[in-house]
Amino acid sequence: MATKLVLITFAICRLLITVGLTMDPAELLRLVVDGQLSMDPSDVETASKDFGLMSRAEPLAVMHPASAEDVTRLVRAAYSSAKSFSVSARGHGHSINGQAQARNGVVVEMSGGNRVGSGKPAAGRSETVGRVVSEKGLYMDAWGGELWIEVLRATLEYGLAPKSWTDYLYLSVGGTLSNAGISGQAFNHGPQISNVLEVDVVTGKGELLTCSEERNSELFHAVLGGLGQFGIITRARIALEPAPKRVRWIRVLYSNFSAFTKDQEYLISLHGQPSSQKFDYVEGFVIVDEGLINNWRSSFFSPSNPVKISSIDSNGNGGILYCLEITKNYDDSTADTIDQEIEALLEKLDFVPTSVFTTDLPYVDFLDRVHKAELKLRSKGLWDVPHPWLNLFVPKSRIADFDEGVFKGILGNKTSGPVLIYPMNNDKWDQQSSVVTPDEDVFYLVALLRSALDSGDETHTLEYLTDQNRRIFKFCDEAGIKIKQYLPHYTTQQEWMDHFGDKWPQFYQRKMEFDPRRILATGQRIFAGPSSVSIAGHDQL
């Protein structure tokens, strides 16, 4: 304990010297003793980088909170100081462009270990926080830094599971809810932010509040998809449903883009139908070479029976094919009818007849499928590399133009990672949240999940791929395709204002209400950092 106090005191003294705190060091020490304020070089180094490996920003210290109250005390200290310091919450560090970094500030490491409440309800809270699964209420209370794989394991013990997912489960609850959280279930259930009943949030003023549709609703809608700008999510109450036992996982191929998108749009239009008359998951991806389909999500195809893209006619598309990926969940009660249900749905689709590939696996294995690909890449040293990913929402009315200009144009015939494409229903997204989507009933996610590799191939270099991203933006701008970035990254406030469009005044007003000193998530680069904002001048940029 003595060693811990020495380390905390040293860290506090450095913070005092660097940022000019005016509070008593003993008071700050008392506020943080429940957890750990670390200046260990390994902690600082980890918090200085992220999955993208394209930016680095070193914090002064890293906080490992023992509770939501620890986070509250830290933010309150930052808010109360004469010259504040930035505070950023970090989950699993899977951001791409330094969004969770805090240069010369404090990074709160939310993931790693379970946290509980203090036992004393804070303002607006009715109960303490812990990992709680309610079979009767069909919900789970999860710590904001808990990973979705941990949520899945905890809920499956009760035969339950969340309704909406991300493709990769080693992401934090608070991290995905601060963006949206999407996967192939979103057409039916909406994104993860549409499946949260309430959240506990530490605002930029250091207030710990419980929020829902009924209570503190403005903050509730602000933090969901709010990019960490309004508060740090310390607890989320996640809606659950009975978990299926198994999944029938199906892939079919298309050589015609119009037929591919028509079928995808038809399948997501069935969201209101009984479960027996729709698929549970609808995604897709673009195939430009055989290597992609046989290596991406390698748990699907057997190495002894790889898919030969060259054996399928691409119909003059320059070798490009499109893969529709769909699943049907089932358990013992529906096992006898699953084949007939799938056959009835497939009969209405216009894919290449000889291209149906099917596998059957446990539900948990399907949800955790990308982790298996991660382990394979790690074993080859291909995981910890720069990731110039680009995620876009493209309006349905322009997706064919995007195909011609990007898939068949800018991308060429090589890619160093998967290119996902699938549609979602806009009415499944709550427009009161901070997320912005295209102004159409249906829009597509296009995710270019590429890795920069030192393979000797110029098209795999970081410079080439980042330039390719710029070319895609330029094409969309010149073609008048009104895309919206998902997991957005901009470097000027004007770009952010353009991104939010009509939502910008509300976004700005919410910032001034919940984080007036601009302490939180400065790595997003939406607002000027706290060092340029005085208590008396909250309206300065």
Residues 6+ apart with CB under 8 A from 138: 160, 239, 240, 241
Cα–chain-centroid distance for residue 100? 12
Place of tokens 């995808």: 264
b vs e for 475-495, b when ≥16 Cβ sit within 10 Å of the residue's Cβ? bbeeeebbbbebbbbbeeeee
Give buried/exposed letters for 504-530 (b at 16+ CB in 10 A, else e).
Answer: eeebbebbeebbbbbbbbbbbbbbebb
64 is catalytic: no
Question: Active-site residue 207, yes or no?
Answer: no
Residue type at position 160:
L
Per the CB < 8 A criterion, the answer to whether 119 and 128 are in contact is yes
Strand intervals (E) in 302-379:
321-330, 357-362
Cα separation, 307 vs 246, whole angstroms = 24
Q: Facing residues of 139 across strands?
A: 134, 239
Tokens describing residue 290? 């055989």
Backbone angles phi, psi at 527, to 5 degrees: -125, 160
Cα–Cα distance measured from residue 87 to residue 79, given in angstroms and rounded to the nearest whole number: 10
Which of 69, 70, 92, 94 is an active site residue? 94
Cα dihedral across residues 371, 237, 227, 537: positive or negative: negative
**Residue 48: half-sphere exposure toward Cβ, Cα within 13 Å:** 14
Helix (H) or strand (E) holding 212: strand 208-212
What's the maximum distance between 2 C-alpha atoms anywhere in the chain? 73
Angstrom distance (rounded) from CA 201 to CA 515: 12
Catalytic choice (167, 350, 440, 513): 167
Token representation of residue 380 = 């080859």
| 539 in active site | no
Q: What are phi and psi of 180, to 5 degrees?
A: 175, -55
DSSP string computed for 25-54: HHHHHHHHTTSEEE--HHHHHHHH--TT-S
Catalytic hit among 141, 283, 341, 403: 283
Active site residues: 94, 167, 283
